[in-house]
């Protein structure tokens, strides 16, 4: 009996576990690895902008200014002016050219060249060149005008010519005018540069209707009249060679074009004309046709 129990115990000890696979059973064959396919090409660099969207163009071998202008859809003369090129407008391989982009403006009834030039901050002489017009041309309602983008003035190309007289002295730079507030009130909307969306070329000052609006500095009135699209009744004063101040949304204008005005002299009354939605003054200061923040050029408000 003892011998049979010992034999049975030994048999159980030597038996394989129930869950183990028999030694003679072959393991399942591993799935074959897929063959490597052709290598994907490395992602290409970002494509260069299309010629009609370029802001800077690097001249390629064989290119001419005329061909570049045609592909960029910008008049050749504007590219030449933006880059200081003189006739015959030769370009060289590798040269970087600034491409001045243009906007379009449909002339409204009653608009003048001055109105359009002032709105875009671009001299009308440049607008005339871009459109093949004389600077003295009379524009017509419905006329479509290209508005060029004025870039920083490049250095003038070197060219042979008579040297300046040794006694000739450069003109001194004019100091910033002593600007005063045209009126006092709450600044409802401030200045936003043209490099931002929803730009705003000046400040809007809320005031009671018929409040006197005064010249910010000594100068000469170069515009006094209606600007139909934005400013309503508008006065623009020239201060020396480089500076201008503008007064829009006026209810009434009390000066005339060509009139000399003194600092703090009344030039109009507050109103609600143009795009104004309340009684307020739209006030701008411009240097070399470029709008600047009036608050940087005015004394601290009392």
- Asked if 268 and 242 sit in the same domain, the reply is yes
From 148, 175, 209, give the residue that closes a domain: 148
Tokens 């500095």 sit at which residue? Answer: 217
pTM of the predicted structure, to 2 decimals: 0.56
Asked if residue 192 and residue 262 are part of one domain, the reply reads yes
Asked if the structure places residue 175 within a domain, the reply is no
**108 with 66, same domain?**
no
Are the C-beta atoms of 268 and 248 separated by less than 8 Å?
Answer: no
CA distances from 109 to 105, 115, 228, 232 (A): 13, 12, 8, 13
Tell me which residue of 235, 237, 229, 227 sits closest to 252, measured CA to CA: 235
In a domain, 251, yes or no: yes
- Do 226 and 261 lie in a common domain? yes
Same domain, 216 and 135: no
* Residue at 190 is within a domain: yes
Residue 2 belongs to a domain: no
- Residue 155 belongs to a domain: no
3 state SS for 156-181 = CCCCCCCCCCCCCCCCCCCCCCCCCC
CATH number at residue 248: 2.70.70.10
142 lies in the same domain as 226: no
Tens-digit pLDDT profile for residues 36-63: 544 444 443 344 567 877 778 999 999 9
List C-alpha distances in Å: 87 to 53, 76, 84, 204, 277: 25, 11, 10, 45, 50
Residue 198 is assigned to a structural domain of this protein? yes
Do 233 and 251 meet the contact criterion of CB atoms below 8 Å apart? yes
Is residue 192 located within the same domain as residue 290?
Answer: yes
Q: Do 232 and 261 reside in the same domain of the chain?
A: yes
Task: Give domain status of residue 111, yes or no.
Answer: yes
Note whether 286 and 200 are same-domain residues. Answer: yes
pLDDT tens across 106-160, in order? 998 878 888 888 878 788 888 888 888 888 888 999 999 988 776 544 443 333 3
Q: Where are the extended beta strands (E) located within 88-128?
A: 96-98, 102-106
Instruction: Looking at the structure, tell me whether residues 110 and 199 fall in a common domain.
Output: no
For the ranges 83-97, 171-185, 259-273, the lowest mean pLDDT is seen at 171-185
135-168 CB burial, b ≥16 within 10 A, e <16: eeeebeeeeebbbbbbeeeeeeeeeeeeeeeeee
In a domain, 207, yes or no: yes
Domain count, the chain: 3
CATH for 113: 3.10.350.10
> What is each CA distance from 2 to 90, 170, 219, in whole angstroms?
117, 130, 132
Kindly report, residue by residue over 183-236, the tens digit of the pLDDT. 999 999 999 987 777 889 999 999 999 999 999 999 999 999 988 778 999 999
171-189 in b/e form (b: 16+ CB < 10 A) is eeeeebbebebbbebeeee
Q: Which domain holds residue 110?
A: 102-148
Query: 81 with 139, same domain?
Result: no
């Amino acid at each position: 009996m003892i011998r049979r129990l010992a034999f049975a115990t030994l048999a159980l000890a030597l038996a394989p576990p129930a869950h183990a696979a028999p030694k003679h059973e072959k393991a399942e064959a591993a799935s074959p690895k897929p063959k490597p396919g052709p290598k994907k090409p490395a992602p290409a660099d970002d494509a260069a902008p299309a010629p009609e969207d370029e802001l800077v163009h690097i001249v390629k071998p064989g290119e001419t200014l005329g061909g570049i202008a045609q592909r960029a859809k910008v008049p050749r003369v504007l590219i030449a002016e933006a880059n200081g090129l003189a006739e015959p407008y030769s370009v060289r391989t590798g040269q970087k050219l600034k491409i001045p982009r243009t906007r379009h403006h449909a002339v409204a009834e009653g608009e003048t060249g001055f109105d359009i030039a002032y709105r875009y901050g671009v001299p009308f002489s440049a607008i005339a060149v871009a459109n093949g017009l004389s600077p003295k041309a009379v524009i017509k309602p419905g006329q479509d005008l290209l508005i060029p983008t004025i870039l920083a003035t490049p250095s003038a190309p070197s060219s042979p010519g008579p040297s300046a007289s040794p006694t000739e002295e450069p003109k001194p730079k004019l100091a910033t005018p002593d600007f005063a507030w045209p009126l006092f009130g709450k600044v409802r909307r401030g200045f936003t540069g043209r490099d931002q969306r929803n730009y705003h070329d000046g400040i809007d000052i809320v005031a009671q209707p018929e409040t006197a609006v005064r010249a910010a500095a000594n100068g000469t009135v170069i515009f006094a009249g209606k600007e139909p699209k934005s400013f309503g009744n508008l006065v623009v004063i020239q201060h020396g060679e480089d500076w201008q101040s503008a007064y829009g949304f006026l209810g009434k204008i009390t000066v005339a074009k060509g009139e000399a005005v003194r600092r703090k002299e009344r030039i109009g009354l507050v109103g609600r004309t143009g795009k104004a939605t309340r009684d307020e003054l739209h006030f701008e200061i411009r240097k070399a046709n470029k709008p600047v923040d009036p608050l940087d050029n005015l004394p601290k408000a009392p």
